[in-house]
Structure formats: C-alpha cells, structure tokens
Structure 1
Amino acid sequence: MTTTSGSSIISALGAGSGVDFIKLASDISAASFAVQRQSAETRRTALEAQISAAAQLRNAVTGLASALGERIRGGDLAPRAEIGNPAVARVSVPAGFSPRGSFTLEVTQLARGQTLVGKSFASRDALVGEGTLTLRFGTIDGASFTADVAHPAIDIAVTATDTLATLATKINQASGGAVSAYVASGTGGAQLVLKGREGAANGFVLEAAGAGGAAAPGDLSYLGWDPASDAGELRQSAQNAAFALDSVAMTSATNRVTGLPGGFTLELAATNPGAPTTLAFASNSDAISGVMNDLVGALNEIVGQMNQLAAPIGGALGNDSGARELRRDLAGLAGRVVMPGAATGEPRTLADLGLVLNRDGTFQLDSARLGRALADTPDAVAAMFSTGVAGVFATVDRFARENSLVSDPGSLGGSLRRFETQLATNDERLAAIAEQQEALRERLTREFVASEKRVAASQSTLAFLRQQVDIWSKSDR
C-alpha cells in the first residue's frame, strides 16, 4: 500500500479511527470517474477496430492497383513478336509498349567497333617508354581521320616504369569503357590490343609523344597509330549498322536499335541482304485472359472483406460513409469507361472484357465475351493493357486513388483520417480523466488526513480527562 506523509503522522501518533483513508480516497476518486473512463475506453476500442478495418480495405484496394501495374509493366502482357528468320535479329518489347502489325527487315551491315593490334614487344613486361599517349575519337575513312569534337580526347600519362601490361590497365581506367585494352602474347611476341565501341563515330587514333623521339621499342612513339601510317595494325574498322525496315533505309551506331514503331527493340545479329525476313506482333491472348481471371479473383477478395468488415450488424464499418462509397464504386466498376477513344465496335469498358457483377455484389468473368473481344478486336484489347493514361490499369489505379484520398471525407481514406483524429481526441480525453482523478485522490487524501489528525487529538484529550476524573475520584474516598 502506498504510504503518504499523512498516514505516517497518524501512525506516529499511535491513534486514529482505524479506517484506511488512503485506500478510501483512491477508491472514491476511481469510482467518481469510472463511468467517464469506461466510456472513453470503450470508444477507444471501437475506434481502433474501425481504423484497422478501414486500413485493411484501403490496403487491399491499393494493393490491387499496385499488383496490376507491376504485372503490366513486367511485360508479360505485351504483344508477342514473331520473326521469320530468328538468326537475323532478336525482338523485344519494353514494358508499357504495344506495337502492332507486321514489318519486313533486311540487314545489310552490322555495327562494330574498331580493333587495333599494336606492334610487337618482347614480352608483356617490356617497358614502353615515358611520355603522353593521347586517344582521339572520330570517323576513319580510308587513310583520313575526322575528329569528333563532341567526344573529348583522352590523355594518358606514361611513366618510365610502365610496361605494356600496366599501360593496358591505364587505358582501361582512363577511357571509361570507350576503349578496352589487353595484352595478347602470340607467336609474334606481346601486342597491345585495343577495341573501341560500336559505331562509325567511335573510331580512334593513337598519338604517342615519347621522350626519346625514336619510333622503336622502348620509346612511346613506337605505339602511335593513325590510318595514314597503317601497316596492318588496323584489324577491324568501326562502322554503323545498316538495315531497312519496310524498305526504309536506316542506320544505327549499335546493333541494339530502339525507337522503332510501337516502341519495339531490335538486337541485330546477322545480315540477310536480298532476303528480307518478316516481323509480326500478335496479341498475347493467354496472358490477357490470365490477368482478367486474376483481377476477378482479387476483386472478390475485396468484396469478401467488405461484407465482413462493413456488415450492417457487427461490422466495424457497418455505418461508415467511406465503406458505402467503396461498395458503390465496386458496383460501378464493370461499367467504367476504360478507353474513351475507342472506335465503334471496340471494347470501351471492363464489362466489354467480360467483367460481370453478380447480384450479391461479387464478380465473375464471362470468358465467352472476352474470347469474342480477343478474336474480333485483338489490337484494341491489347491496347487496354498498358500503363498509359487510359486502359485497365489506369481505371483500377484511379479507382484505388479515389477511395484512398484522405482529403475526401466521403472516401475510405477520409474515414481512416477521421477515425485517427477521433482516436487522438479520445486519448486526450482519457489523459484528462486520469489527471482529474488523480487530483481528486490527492485532495481527498489531504482532507482525510486532516480529519484523522483531529480525531486523534480529540481521543488524546478524552484520555487525559478520563485520567483526571479517575484521580479526582480516588482523592474523594
């Protein structure tokens, strides 16, 4: 039991009424605020249940939109590319793009980088000579070189202790991948091999300023090269890829070609001059059917949670405006316009893709209707599964955002914010009740201690008077 200064004084006096006033003060203060405290605690429990339910529904809705977006961005819904001669090129479709139609492809030249094999040294550890080696980039045409002013030259400081091997390392570090270098040791000795990036503009020359000034092994000038003085060091010239798409001539600095119609990408692998191959894109019907089935399943999970959490009797959100709005939005989801710009006869809504609302609020997929849409308008259906401003994902994402918007008091997000605000207010009320109860307990304790002191003083006076009376009585005998 807690001991106060008042109770200590009473014990020291050895007197009192025998009543535990400390406990009495605590019990009275607790009883005085019991109804208010119980009401606030009950309200807190209810608000926590509402917050949990609203957050669960909101997370289910936003999770649906997020999962659908990842599915579409992942690329498995993109049209499948079919190429007549797969040895010529590989075709890929980045997430979010939906190329259509067919094309012809004729590759007459592949992109490649320059390969330069330097003059021979005795070994990879041979000293190359002190000086500066400069790499200049540009276009090589026969014996002429035209520098690319947009590609700055690279100066490499070479010390007297640098070998052919350490020079290769310095070139790799200084060029940042523009040129890769290594030492090849063959029958002709050790040679520095330099390979540039793909593309005609990535050709390069070597300007070597050696300290000795003599182009011999051991002097850096021995490694200098330009096309006018080539003596067989140039093993492969840099060039662009050349190809024709639907007979339209095109070039590319690399064999990876982007920016093609519909956003598809080509990885050129071989030439086929005079024998164009076909390239066609077909809608991925199986993937679209799978996504629609998954969408129906996810929506039914949300409906199931809604029926439990927002049940009129016993549901934490039974009378919540945000839950009612979500139910209305779910009921109208199948009829939402997904493609406002769809032509006559093309699917415009989720219902056109087979999404059906049952009488009990659940969903099902009309596979026959989806199959007809895929058969009759495959390109239009495929266009609905993209990450653009229109389409299935945009519609579901907008549906999720509308119901999660905390600034809208009529949405599920608005309900969640309202419950959280009410919980904070209720906690403040509980804290105030606790303060008031403690203040009452302290006041009652002080008053009871004062009363006990007065009782103890009266009892002491009474005992003294009894002693005096007894003395007086004895003296009268």
Structure 2
Amino acid sequence: MENPGSSIISALGAGSGVNFAQLASDLSDASFAFQRTNLQSRNETLQARISAAALLRSSVNDLASALGDRIRNGDLSPRASIGNPAVASVSTPAGSNPSGTYALEVTQLARSQTLVSQSYASAGDLVGEGNLRFRFGTVAGATFTEDTAQAALDIAVDASDTLATLAGKIRSASGGRLDAYVASGTGGAQLVIKGAEGAANGFVLEPTSAAANPASTPGDLTYLAWSPASDAGELRQTSQDALYSLDTVQRSSASNTVTGLPDGMTLNLKATNTGSPTTISFTNDSGAITGVMNDFVAALNDIVRLLGETAAAQGGTLGNDPGARELKRDLARLTSEAVMPNAGVGEPRTLADLGLSLNRDGTFRLDTARLDTTLSDSPEATAAMFTTGVFGVFATFDKLARANSRITDPGSLGGSLKRYEAQIERNDVRLERIAVQQENLRERLTRNLIRAEQNIAVSQSTLSFLEQQVELFANQR
C-alpha cells in the first residue's frame, strides 16, 4: 500500500526532486537484505537435506515393506503336496513354515440335507398365505433333534406368493443357511431346498396356514410341511459331518473345508479313501529363496548408491548428517546380524549364511555357493528365516528400518528430518519478524523524509522571497 506521504510530496510540487518514498523503501530493504538472504539460503539448504533424508528413509522403509509383502504372499513358504490329490487339496497360511508329513484318511464327506417338495402344476402356482418356519438340527431316521443354538427362521408368505417367489424369499431370508429353487420335471414343479453342510444343519418345515380350514393340498401352505416322521420321499439327502483321520487321530468337521489343523493347514476334502491313507508333505522352494535374495541384494545396493551420493564427505547434501552416518554403519553390520539367534548348532544364523557378502566399497554381493550349501544342508532352517515372525530376514531388516525412522533418536534419519524441519520453522519465524521490522523502518523513514521535504520546500520559498526583495531593493537604487 502506497504511503500517504508520497502523495503529499507530489501535491507540494516542490522540493529536492528526489523520490523519498522509493528511497525509504530501498533503504529499509537494504538494511535487512543480508539477514533475509542469509536465512533464505539456509532454508534452501535445509530443504535439500530434508529431501535427501526423506528419500533415504523412504528407500529403506520401502524395501522392508516389499520384503514383508513378498513373505506374506506365500511364495517363499514350503509348498504342500498330497499323494492322492483326488482325496483333498492342502493349503497353508502365507508366511508360515510348515514341515513334516501327515497321513490323511477320509471315511466320510460332509454333506447337506436336500429336500424336494411334493409336486405343483407350475412354478407360478400360488402356495398359500401364512408363515413358513424352519427349525434346524439333526435328522436321524424318523427323528429330529433341534439345535437350540441355531435360531428358527420364519418367513411370511403373502397370498400372491408363488412357488418361484417363495424360493427367492427362502434364499434371501436365510442368510446363506439355505438355498432354494424350483425344478420343473416330468412330475411337475417342485421346490428344492438345500441346507448347509454338517449333521446339525438339517431342518424341518412347519407351515402355519392363514386359511380358515387348512388343507394339505396345492395352494395351501400346509402342503409344504415336512418332518422325518412324516417323510413320503421328499428327503433326498441327509446332512452329515465329514469324518477323517490325521495321523490315525479320528476327527470330524461340519464342512468339507477343514481348518484348525497343525501348521495352519486347511484341507478341502474331495473324496473318501477308506483303508488307503494318503500322505501330506511339504517341500521348500529353494529357487524362490534364491530369487528373493538376489532381489534383496539389488535393492540394498540401490540404497548404498543413493547413500554414497547424498552423504559423500565432499559435496554430499548429507555429508555431515548423523542419521546418514548411522545408516551406513547399520548396513555395514547387516551381514553379521543374528537373524535367528536361537538357531541350533550347524543351522544358519546370519544373513552371511544366506550368502549376503559385503564388498570393500560398501556394496553387497550374493555368494550363491554359500547360499546353495545352506539350502542343501539346512532346508527347513533356511525356510524358517523367511517368515513374518519375531526373528528372520524380514524382522531383522524391518528393525533396521524402524530404528532409522525413529524421530525420537537424534542419531537417526527420522531425527535428522525432525531437526531440519524445526530449523526451517525457526528461520521462517525470523523471516516474519524481519518483514515486520523492515516495514516499520520504511514507514519511519518515509515520515522523516516527508518532513525533510517539507522543510526544504519552506526554505526554498523563503529564499525565493528574499531574492525578490533584494532585486526590488537594487532596482530602487
């Protein structure tokens, strides 16, 4: 905003001819130019350091994250195989380290109850108004034992409901416990209802008709009633549990998908093999381990090169940064870190045992001969190093990444970032103070120079008057 004094000077139309408003601005700017330029230069340097430290920290954290994802995705876990894949398929959780062998014998598969109603003329026939109740439990012969832990299912049936719309209501209202559809065959249209797998998931149908005189005929809801005691051929399959043995231990499961097994195994049972047990075993994928070690070494060398550029003693943005120095030391110690501190005698303990070697220039290389020897001599112990547990390759590098990111440690990259950001904040506060001081000086100089301009104008007017008087006096003589 233009100082009002400048317009006053212009209005006077006199004075020294000097633009005192601009002079005041230039003088105030020059008075603080050195401090302002110095602080701005410091901020530029600090911003460069922040960018370099953040890039280094991000590179280390990204490698830790990628390594964890690689392990969790399961391509490094021992692979499960089964002697007779027609009996079952086997899977294990990503990042687990299963071992050993298991004998599996399946004597019975889990199945669901299947009920086929009496016939209707078509899927569009009305079923009758009322309430259709399902109770769940075990069907054995002519008896039904309710499972009180399962809530009964009540379905309101409208007068306009057909066999087809009732099937849709059963599906939507059961929350997955029941499936229903209309089958149209040579005997007419029939409602097919299937329950969930497992012996306790059988069911009975108990309709309540809204008719004044219910009749068990098509068009009245009671026509759909069913219980094992009244079965007239509607029951086509009884629900049952899967029966199997693992290492001769008898077990049962309400589903053919079996969980809660040793090593986190999941079995998907497909067929029975009574009297002919099949073997489940696990093999380590040495090729996947070699692949991840090659990728790990390449990623480490990318970090080493970046560190060499940014933390060079001469000209490096982080040449004297304590966080960068600490990262260098951590990387140099990496090959000797005890990845598996509880390893047995002769088992791999360090990353060096996995072939990670340090060159004289600080870069890494993979000693494939040593890695192959470790894989050959201790395949299970080697596989155990590639899990997401408290020990292992991932845990070791993740610990390194977290330590270098910790903002509470002034000797880490995180601590350096916090320190540089705090310095920029302090410099910004000083720049704001300088701006205020500069503006105050400009206003003060403007006021003083305006007064000086006014005094000069008065002096010039007085001088002009005196010159006129002298000239008049001289002419009178």
TM-score of the superposition, structure 1-length normalised? 0.97
Contact 1:97 1:264 in 2 (8 A): no
| 2:428 alignment counterpart | 427
Contact 1:165 1:182 in 2 (8 A): yes
Answer yes or no: is 1:332 the counterpart of 2:336.
no
Deviates more, 1:244-253 or 1:55-64: 244-253
| 1:168 alignment counterpart | 167
Q: How does 1:24-423 map to 2 (within 5 A)?
A: 24-212=23-211, 213-423=214-424
1:173 Cα offset (Å): 1.4
Equivalent residue letter for 1:221: T
| 1:18 alignment counterpart | 17
SS of 2:110's equivalent in the other structure is coil
SS of 1:333's equivalent in the other structure is helix
CA distance in 1, matches of 2:95, 2:224: 49
1:338 Cα offset (Å): 1.1
CA distance in 1, matches of 2:472, 2:305: 92
Give the number of equivalent residue pairs.
475
CA distance in 2, matches of 1:30, 1:254: 82
CA distance in 1, matches of 2:412, 2:2: 54
| 1:472 alignment counterpart | 473
**What RMSD in Å do the two structures reach over aligned CA positions?**
1.2
CA distance in 2, matches of 1:402, 1:343: 28
Contact 1:98 1:263 in 2 (8 A): no
1:224 Cα offset (Å): 0.9
CA distance in 2, matches of 1:413, 1:328: 16
CA distance in 1, matches of 2:447, 2:370: 82
CA distance in 1, matches of 2:2, 2:332: 65
Deviates more, 1:56-65 or 1:265-274: 265-274
Equivalent residue letter for 2:249: V
- CA deviations 1:184-209 (Å, max 9, x no partner) are 11111111111111111111111111
CA distance in 2, matches of 1:161, 1:29: 91
CA distance in 1, matches of 2:228, 2:147: 16
Contact 2:121 2:189 in 1 (8 A): yes
CA distance in 1, matches of 2:2, 2:349: 78
CA distance in 1, matches of 2:244, 2:429: 74
Contact 1:116 1:194 in 2 (8 A): yes
CA distance in 1, matches of 2:300, 2:364: 7
Contact 2:43 2:427 in 1 (8 A): yes
CA distance in 1, matches of 2:25, 2:210: 99
- CA deviations 1:274-309 (Å, max 9, x no partner) are 222121101111111111111111111110110001
Contact 1:256 1:267 in 2 (8 A): yes
Contact 1:15 1:456 in 2 (8 A): yes
SS of 2:8's equivalent in the other structure is helix
SS of 1:195's equivalent in the other structure is strand
Contact 1:128 1:218 in 2 (8 A): yes
Equivalent residue letter for 2:297: V
CA distance in 1, matches of 2:97, 2:199: 32
Equivalent residue letter for 2:463: L
SS of 2:335's equivalent in the other structure is coil
CA distance in 2, matches of 1:430, 1:120: 90
Contact 1:138 1:147 in 2 (8 A): yes
1:473 Cα offset (Å): 3.0
1:465 Cα offset (Å): 2.2
Deviates more, 1:45-54 or 1:154-163: 154-163
CA distance in 2, matches of 1:122, 1:26: 100
CA distance in 1, matches of 2:108, 2:200: 16
Contact 1:99 1:281 in 2 (8 A): yes
Equivalent residue letter for 1:146: T
SS of 1:270's equivalent in the other structure is coil
CA distance in 1, matches of 2:197, 2:301: 53
1:3 Cα offset (Å): 4.5
Contiguous gaps of at least 5 residues in structure 2: none
Contiguous gaps of at least 5 residues in structure 1: none
CA distance in 2, matches of 1:142, 1:389: 53
1:454 Cα offset (Å): 0.8
Contact 2:240 2:254 in 1 (8 A): yes
Equivalent residue letter for 1:253: A
1:4 Cα offset (Å): 3.0
1:134 Cα offset (Å): 0.5
CA distance in 2, matches of 1:28, 1:284: 76
SS of 2:70's equivalent in the other structure is helix
SS of 1:401's equivalent in the other structure is helix
Contact 2:3 2:443 in 1 (8 A): no
C-alpha spacing 1:244/1:139, structure 2 compared with 1 (3 Å) = same
Deviates more, 1:304-313 or 1:272-281: 272-281
Contact 2:183 2:191 in 1 (8 A): yes
CA distance in 1, matches of 2:97, 2:413: 34
Deviates more, 1:268-277 or 1:406-415: 268-277
1:251 Cα offset (Å): 1.1
SS of 2:324's equivalent in the other structure is helix
Equivalent residue letter for 2:266: T
Contact 2:76 2:288 in 1 (8 A): yes
